[in-house]
Structure 1
Amino acid sequence: MKILITGGTGLIGSMLCAQLNAHSLFVLTRNTDNKLFSGSNHITPISHIEDVDFNDIDAVINLAGEPIAEKRWNEQQKQLIVQSRLGITQSLVSKINNCVNPPSVFISGSAIGYYGRQSPNLLIDESFEEAFIEFSHELCSMWENEALKTNQNTRVCILRTGIVLSKDGGALKKLLPSFKLGIGSVVADGRQLMSWIHIQDMVKGIIFLLENSTSNGIFNMTAPNAVNNHEFSKTLAAQLHRPCLLSMPAWVMKLLFGEMADLLIYGQGVYPKRLLGAGFNFDYPTLDKALNDLL
C-alpha cells in the first residue's frame, strides 16, 4: 500500500511510520533531514504537496498541526494553531477530490477538545452533541468539517484524540521531572476527567482504521477508562514510588499559562464506543497498566 502521511515526524507519526514498515510511505515534511528517514527504505520524504500524485496513493493520514499546549495562547498563537491544521487539511481534500483515481481512505486528526469542558460525572461517546463552545471546540469543529468535505468515494475517519501517553514526548514527558522529584501535584480540585491513550494503542488504532474498510466517521481515540486528575496524579506518583502531596490551585495555573490553562483545569470523560464496537482491542485499557509499561 502507498500511504501519504503528514505530521509523520511527530510523536504519533514517527511511531506509526515505524509500524507501517511493510508499506511504501511518503511523509510530507519541511525537515527532510530528520532521523526518521535515515536507514528507512520504506519511507520517502516529500517537501511539497505538489510533488505527490494522489492518483497513485492508496491512503492519506493527516496528523499535522502546531502543538496546542506548547506556548501561551494569544491571538497570534491561536491563529497559528488553527491555520496549521486547516491549511494542510484543505490542501489534502482538494487534491483528493480532484483525483481520477482517489485514495481509498483519508484518516484525519482532531481531538477530544471538540467536546469542550464537561462535568466530571458525564461519560461521552461519539454521539454526544452538547459541546461546550470554547476555542478547543471551535478549532476541532473547523478541522473536522474541512476533512469531511472529501468526496464520498474516499472513506473518511476522524480521530478525536485524547492525552497520548509516551515517555518520548507529550504530557507524560513534561510531568515526569517534577513527579520524579516528589513534587508532582494535583491540578485545581482534581475532579476534572483526563481521557488518555497509550501511544501504542493510538498507533494500533490508526492502523486498525486504515485496514478496516467498513470503518468511517468519528472515532474517539481514548482508552476506555478515563480517570480524574487526582487519580492520574496519585497513580503516576505511585508508579515512581514518590509521594503526591501538593496541589496547584486553578488561579495559579491561569496566572502561569493564561487561557491555555483551561486544558488542564477542565476536562471531559470520553469513551471510545465506536472503536470498541468495530472490534478493536486495547493493549492498555487501564492507567496503571499503561504507566507500568511506559515507566
Structure 2
Amino acid sequence: MKTIAISGASGFVGTNLKDYFTNLGYKVIPISRDILNKKDKLEELINSSNIVINLAGANIINRWTDKYKKLLYSSRIDTTSKIVNAINSVENKPELLISTSAVGIYDNQFIHDEDGSYSNDFLSKLCQDWEKEALKANSFNTRVAIFRFGIVLGKDGGALQKMLTPFKLGLGGIIGSGKQAFSFIHLEDLLNAYKFVIENSNANLAFNLTAPTPTTNKGLTLALGKTLKRPTILPVPEFILNLIFSEGAKVLTDGQNVIPKKLQDLGFEFKYKNIEDTIENLLKN
C-alpha cells in the first residue's frame, strides 16, 4: 500500500483526491498547517510517503489588494519551498511530487499547449515562481510533475457551485464581452489524470489539466442556461467586476485558450471533452 501526502487536502480538489485515492487502496495523509510549520514533523511525514501532492494556496478569486497578493504568493511559494526542502533533506525520498500551477501562466493571445508563451502579469509570474520552486525537488530519486489547472468543474463545490445560484434564478449571463477563452476540466478527468501520471513513469514536468476542447465564457453561459433551462440574458459588466475584485478581475475577464497536448500524447483519454458534455453530466438529476 502506497502512501500519498497532500497539502491543501481540505479544499475542493484536495477533499476529492483524498476520497478517490483512499477508495483505490492508498493511504492518504493530509499535510496540515501544523505539520508544514514544523520542520521535523514535515520531514518525518515526507520520509514515509511515496507520493506528495501539493495543492496549498489562497483562493485566487478575490480582491487583489497588495496585502492579498502577498498572501497569494506566500501561500504558494513558501509552502512549496518547505515541502521541497523536506524532500531534499530526507533519506527516503518520495518517488513523485505533483505540484499545482494554473493556465494563468500563459498569455491570452493564442491557443497554448505546454510549450506556449507566458504572460508578463502578476498571475503568470506567480505561476512561474511556483513551478520553479517545485522543480527544485526534481532528482534521480524524485520525479516532479506540474499540473497547470484550468477551471475545475465538479458537483458540490468549487467554481460551478458559485456560478449556479444566479443561473438558477434566471440571472445568469456572460461576463464582459463573453468572448474570453474558458479552459476547464471535469473533476472526474482531473482525478483520473492524477492516477495516470502516478502510474506512468514517463510523465514529468508540466501538464495542462484542461479538457481537449476549450470554450468561451459565452459557451459556458449557454451550456449552463440550456441544461438548467433558464434565460442567460443579463450580462455582468466588466467594470462591476473591477470594482469588486480590482486586479483580481483579470481571472474572470481575461482567459487562456489551453489544450492538454502532453497528456493526450501519453495516451490519456478524457471522458468529458467539451463544455456541453461536462455541464450536462454535472447538473443532470
- The normalised TM-score by structure 1 is 0.90
Find the counterpart in structure 2 of residue 104 from structure 1: 95
User: What one-letter code is carried by the residue in structure 2 that aligns with 1:233?
Assistant: T
Find the counterpart in structure 2 of residue 158 from structure 1: 146
- Is the contact made by 2:138 and 2:144 (CA closer than 8 Å) also made in structure 1? no
Deviation string, structure 1 residues 111-169 (Cα, Å, up to 9, x no partner): 011114x13xx2110011x2221111011011000001114121000000000012322
- CA gap 1:151/1:123 in 2 versus in 1, 3 angstroms: closer
- The separation in 1 between residues aligned to 2:122 and 2:53, in whole angstroms, is 24
- CA gap 1:26/1:49 in 2 versus in 1, 3 angstroms: farther
Find the counterpart in structure 2 of residue 56 from structure 1: 48
Find the counterpart in structure 2 of residue 144 from structure 1: 131
- The separation in 2 between residues aligned to 1:228 and 1:289, in whole angstroms, is 15
Find the counterpart in structure 2 of residue 208 from structure 1: 196
Find the counterpart in structure 2 of residue 42 from structure 1: none
- The separation in 2 between residues aligned to 1:167 and 1:28, in whole angstroms, is 24
- The separation in 2 between residues aligned to 1:256 and 1:67, in whole angstroms, is 15
Quote the sequence identity (%): 39
Match of 2:263 among 236, 258, 275: 275
Find the counterpart in structure 1 of residue 16 from structure 2: 15
Farther-moved stretch of structure 1 (255-264 vs 273-282): 255-264
Find the counterpart in structure 1 of residue 229 from structure 2: 241
The equivalences for 1:160-239 within 5 A come to 160-239=148-227
Find the counterpart in structure 2 of residue 81 from structure 1: 72
How far did 1:252 drift?
Answer: 2.2
Gaps of 5+ in 1: 32-44
User: What one-letter code is carried by the residue in structure 1 that aligns with 2:155?
Assistant: K
- Is the contact made by 1:223 and 1:286 (CA closer than 8 Å) also made in structure 2? yes
Give the 4+ runs in structure 1 shifted more than 4 A: 45-49
- The separation in 2 between residues aligned to 1:28 and 1:279, in whole angstroms, is 31
- Is the contact made by 1:28 and 1:48 (CA closer than 8 Å) also made in structure 2? no
- Is the contact made by 1:28 and 1:49 (CA closer than 8 Å) also made in structure 2? no
- The separation in 1 between residues aligned to 2:36 and 2:122, in whole angstroms, is 32
- The normalised TM-score by structure 2 is 0.93
- The separation in 1 between residues aligned to 2:165 and 2:91, in whole angstroms, is 52
- The separation in 1 between residues aligned to 2:47 and 2:230, in whole angstroms, is 54
Q: Which secondary structure state, in structure 2, belongs to the residue aligned with residue 258 of structure 1?
A: helix
- The separation in 2 between residues aligned to 1:66 and 1:257, in whole angstroms, is 15
CA RMSD across the alignment: 1.6
- The separation in 2 between residues aligned to 1:151 and 1:141, in whole angstroms, is 16
- Is the contact made by 1:156 and 1:217 (CA closer than 8 Å) also made in structure 2? yes
Deviation string, structure 1 residues 231-278 (Cα, Å, up to 9, x no partner): 110111111001111222222221222111111111011000001111
- Is the contact made by 1:165 and 1:197 (CA closer than 8 Å) also made in structure 2? yes
Deviation string, structure 1 residues 170-197 (Cα, Å, up to 9, x no partner): 2211110000011101111111000000
Find the counterpart in structure 2 of residue 29 from structure 1: 32
Gaps of 5+ in 2: none
- CA gap 1:139/1:47 in 2 versus in 1, 3 angstroms: closer
Match of 2:121 among 134, 138, 151: 134
Q: Which secondary structure state, in structure 1, belongs to the residue aligned with residue 206 of structure 2?
A: strand
| Higher share of residues assigned helix | 2
- CA gap 1:49/1:281 in 2 versus in 1, 3 angstroms: farther
- The separation in 2 between residues aligned to 1:291 and 1:17, in whole angstroms, is 24
User: What one-letter code is carried by the residue in structure 2 that aligns with 1:7?
Assistant: G
- The separation in 2 between residues aligned to 1:55 and 1:244, in whole angstroms, is 52
